[in-house]
Copies of this chain bind each other. A is one copy, B any other.
Amino acid sequence: MAKVTIIGAGAMGSALIVPLADNGHEVRLWGTELDGEIIDSLRKGLPHPKHKHRLPSEIATYQVTELEEAMLDTELVIMAITSDALENVFDKVVPFLKEGVIVGSVSKGFNYDQNGRIVILPEILENTLPETLRNKVPIVVVGGPCKAIEVVWKSPTAVTYSSNNVEAAKYMQSILMTDVYRVEVTDDVIGTEVCAAMKNAYSVGLGMAEGFKAKNGFLHNNTKAALFTFAVAEMGILTKAMGGSLEAVIGLPGVGDLEVTGEAGRNRTLGELIGGGLTASKAVEKMREEGITVEGYPAIKFGYYLAKQLESEEKLSLDQLPLLRGLYSILYENAPAYGKIKELLQNCTGYYKI
């Protein structure tokens, strides 16, 4: 039985309690300053306010002020924090980390490092560690198609854990894998992370194809499937330019996660609103008013600037990424979605040279 601390009581962090509890581990769930009400609810035995489901009752819950207790003698820490808050929260966790503790991360996205370069999130974590812990606290990232609520329901799920330290990833696999939560292990951190971030960006595009029905009065499944293919090709180009492998792209972190994100979720909804005729700025505003943050929106901007960064390093050319450029132009320059998608369909290629 391992001691596992989950940092962040949102949808995904809380969902992972289910396989952990099924495997009989001691689980501590720590809530950030934004999670106070969630922790209160769970302590009262009420359902999780996001899942609307009761979680296994044997877990221990910790409020924002109780981090030290939550971290006591822990063997595995799982960071389940939104990408923009990850660094700040990890900063608070670090003083309680010891050599050999493993840090898993389910956060997905990009961020800027101290030099203003766009990097993947494990680099942010690595940079936050003090010198004394560098390379002594292995970091494991999670990719693949995984709606949190379905982990709670126990829909059969398959995900990828990736780490430069494969043994650490295998350890985390041994702690979490169940007969309905399959974990594959790879050493391709970059591939897993680039796909995890970019699938949010591209699924906004898939949502647009769904939205064209409202605009034009008929289905655009062919368009969606074409965009899906172009997205896979462009994720391949970005991943390889970053130093990741194509295996991640055609595996669970790429193709798999793009499929599930294109089926349902916030990114798709944002795209659907835009495809249906709302301007991008109105659509983003509408979702913000409803309190919904859409990861795909910043991911498109990060992806586009990352591509520029990679172009300046002569690792790719923006011309290879017509879909990403088109999405940027629709989301940030208010280009009309239907016209843009129709136009870029002529310039994309669905036959990606390996």
- The residues of A with any CB-CB pair to B shorter than 8 Å are 144-147, 149-151, 153, 155-158, 160, 179-180, 182, 184, 186, 212, 216, 218-226, 228-229, 232-233, 236, 246-252, 255-257, 259-260, 262-264, 341-342, 345-346, 348-354
Contact = CB atoms under 8 A, between A and B. Distances in A.
A96 B293 CA distance: 62
Contact of A251 (B153, B216, B352): B352
Given A184-B350, A251-B233, A346-B179, A156 B225 contact: no
B232 A255 contact: yes
B229 A352 contact: no
A249 B247 CA distance: 13
Contacts of A351: 160, 184, 186, 247-248, 251-252
Nearest to A262: B259
Contact of A225 (B216, B218, B263): B263
A325 to B, nearest CB: 17
A108 B351 CA distance: 19
B246 A158 contact: no
Given A224-B260, A226-B252, A250-B255, 18 more contacts: A144-B226, A145-B229, A147-B221, A155-B212, A158-B345, A160-B351, A179-B342, A182-B346, A184-B349, A225-B256, A226-B256, A229-B255, A229-B259, A232-B255, A247-B353, A248-B351, A251-B350, A252-B351
